[in-house]
Amino acid sequence: MGSRERERERENERQSERDTRICNIHIRIVACARLRHIYFIKKEENKSFRKKAHRALYFLLTRKPRDHEMSAKPISVSSSLSSSICFRAAQRRIRQRSIVVAKASSTSSSENADLVANLNSAFSIPSSVSFECDSSPYVYLTHKNGCTAKVYLFGANCASWTQPSGDEVLFVRPDAKFDESVPIAGGIPICFPQFGMNGPMSQQHGFARNMRWEVIGTSADVNPDDPEPAVMLSLKSNEETKKMWPHDFECTYEVTLRREKLKCEFCVKNCAEDLKDELEFTAALHSYIEVVDATDSENVYAKGNLKGKSYMDKEIDAKNPPLLTYDKDRVTFGTKLVDSIFLNTDSEMLLHVGNGAAVSVENTAGWRDFVVWNPHQNMPQCYKQFACVENACAVKPVVLPGDGYVWKSEMNLTVVTL
Ligand code: TA6
């Protein structure tokens, strides 16, 4: 073989290697997109591949689904995409889903086991997101720093959030039931479409905490080197909700372990076709937080920029609470029922829990008010062990126009060492 032929052969080999590489990248991107699991973009992939793959997924999440994809596996949501994109993507995933969520009242343990198996095959992410079941199915999030969260499908209730040390931050009352017969009494119940009795319904705190939500996405790959496990759930209006509240809506709730933070993003979409067909609702994330001893007012209290602020005191009159001006910067517990709604507050309150730490409850979008509650002798068996500090729109309703308008809220909980 002459030297020119050898050179041509080498050039052909190089070209074919380049083709294979390009083809491999292409196949891997398409595979990522097809599998719809952003997790598959592994951290060992190079930066340019990750960029291309993210772009492919971004495209996939934002474009209209094709007919043949309607029965495809659900997409995992990347929180690195903007929430509105996630929300729109979530809409599509609901249509694409093939997992049947059995009605709570008729759910047997074998149906729950099937559901959990289906959810694991569609949405689990090794070492980050898994589905399990005790009396009721839940998703378990694990951050590689050791933080965990447990979110029940029933009520989309985040009933547990632990720190890397293993310490539990949230509180579940001893009278709590997990059999889906009543709302879970503890963790973070979602009050929607009304807070307390402030709305048209006879059901205290609305129905969202009393229904099974659907899983519509999971993620663990905002930054592949430091994955943030997340789950997104949805509650859509149906015959049952319309009997109680005659409106077309969809709620989504995304819980993310953002390193040491717990991020809870709650969105409501008005699905009415007419812009003038408004939704009016009050709502809250009714966070139960564990304290060492609520009666120790030196060390256990809720602190915020409260002095001089307006608040409604439900301890004085639960039905028609008087509007008063608060004259302190902290709320203490242990002498009587505390049930106050602080109106239009600053964005953060700190609950000092009595062991040298505080839990920061931060409104990072959407919420207006803070509710602080401790039941005192109404719950003699457990009132010393918790206080609720809640992001809420408890008094003035949110008014949301129709035609697909979305109200978005976000609460971040962080454990702060004092
Ligand atoms: O958030 C405080 C509050 O509205 C109190 O008035 C009290 O009733 C509490 O919620 C608990 O409500 P629940 O229905 O969960 O027992």
Burial 356-383 (b: 16+ CB within 10 A, else e): ebbbebbbbbbbbbbbbbbbbeebeebb
Q: State which of 175, 202, 203, 205 you would mutate to test the pocket of ligand 1, scoring each by most atoms of that ligand within 8 A of its C-beta.
A: 205
As a whole number, the mean pLDDT across the chain is: 83
What is the pTM (predicted TM-score) of this model? 0.78
Three-state DSSP state, 173: coil
Determine if ligand 1 sits within 6 Å of the CB of residue 371.
yes
Confidence of residue 26 (pLDDT cuts 50, 70, 90): very low
Determine if ligand 1 sits within 6 Å of the CB of residue 369.
no
What is the Cα 379 distance to its own chain's centre? 28
Judge whether 334 and 347 are in contact, CB under 8 Å. no
Strand residue runs (E) in 18-89: none
Give the span between the Cα atoms of 90 and 269, in whole angstroms.
Answer: 12
**CA 286–ligand 1 middle distance (angstroms):** 8
Determine if ligand 1 sits within 6 Å of the CB of residue 196.
yes
Determine if ligand 1 sits within 6 Å of the CB of residue 181.
no
Determine if ligand 1 sits within 6 Å of the CB of residue 372.
no
**CA 196–ligand 1 middle distance (angstroms):** 7
User: 11, exposed or middle or buried, with CB in 10 Å at 0-12, 13-18, 19+?
Assistant: exposed
Q: Angle formed by the axes of helices 47-62 and 3-35, to 10°? A: 40
Angle at 212 between CA 209 and CA 215, to 5 degrees: 115
Question: Residue 204: pLDDT above 50?
Answer: yes
**CA 26–ligand 1 middle distance (angstroms):** 54
> Closest Cα to atom 15, ligand 1: which residue?
185
> Closest Cα to atom 6, ligand 1: which residue?
339
Three-state DSSP state, 406: strand
Q: Checking phi first, is residue 180 left (phi over 0); if not, alpha (psi -120 to 50) or beta?
A: left
Angle at 300 between CA 298 and CA 303, to 5 degrees: 100
Q: State which of 204, 289, 314, 342 you would mutate to test the pocket of ligand 1, scoring each by most atoms of that ligand within 8 A of its C-beta.
A: 204
- Listed in sequence order, the residues at least 6 apart from 82 whose beta carbon sits closer than 8 Å to its beta carbon are none
Question: What does DSSP assign to residue 308?
Answer: T
Atom of ligand 1 nearest to the CA of 205: 14
Judge whether 185 and 175 are in contact, CB under 8 Å. yes
Question: What does DSSP assign to residue 125?
Answer: B
Strand residue runs (E) in 25-170: 129-133, 137-142, 148-152, 158-162
Three-state DSSP state, 22: helix
Give the span between the Cα atoms of 178 and 152, in whole angstroms.
Answer: 9
> What CA–CA distances, in Å, run from 5 to 16, 19, 241?
16, 21, 76
Give the span between the Cα atoms of 410 and 252, in whole angstroms.
Answer: 12
Atom of ligand 1 nearest to the CA of 375: 7
**Which two three-digit tokens encode residue 338?**
């505390």
**CA 289–ligand 1 middle distance (angstroms):** 14
Judge whether 390 and 371 are in contact, CB under 8 Å. yes
**Which two three-digit tokens encode residue 181?**
């017969």
Looking at the chain, the whole-number percentage of residues with pLDDT higher than 70 is 76
Convert the pLDDT of each residue in 259-292 to its tens digit: 999 999 999 999 999 999 999 999 999 999 999 9
Determine if ligand 1 sits within 6 Å of the CB of residue 370.
no
Determine if ligand 1 sits within 6 Å of the CB of residue 37.
no
Q: State which of 286, 381, 386 you would mutate to test the pocket of ligand 1, scoring each by most atoms of that ligand within 8 A of its C-beta.
A: 286
Question: What does DSSP assign to residue 367?
Answer: -
Q: 10 Å Cβ neighbour count for 90?
A: 24
> Closest Cα to atom 8, ligand 1: which residue?
196
Convert the pLDDT of each residue in 39-87 to its tens digit: 334 444 555 655 555 555 544 444 333 333 333 333 333 333 223 333 3
Looking at the chain, the whole-number percentage of residues with pLDDT higher than 90 is 71
Residue with the two structure tokens 């973070």: 188
Give the span between the Cα atoms of 171 and 100, in whole angstroms.
Answer: 31
Determine if ligand 1 sits within 6 Å of the CB of residue 175.
no
Convert the pLDDT of each residue in 233-266 to its tens digit: 999 999 999 999 999 999 999 999 999 999 999 9
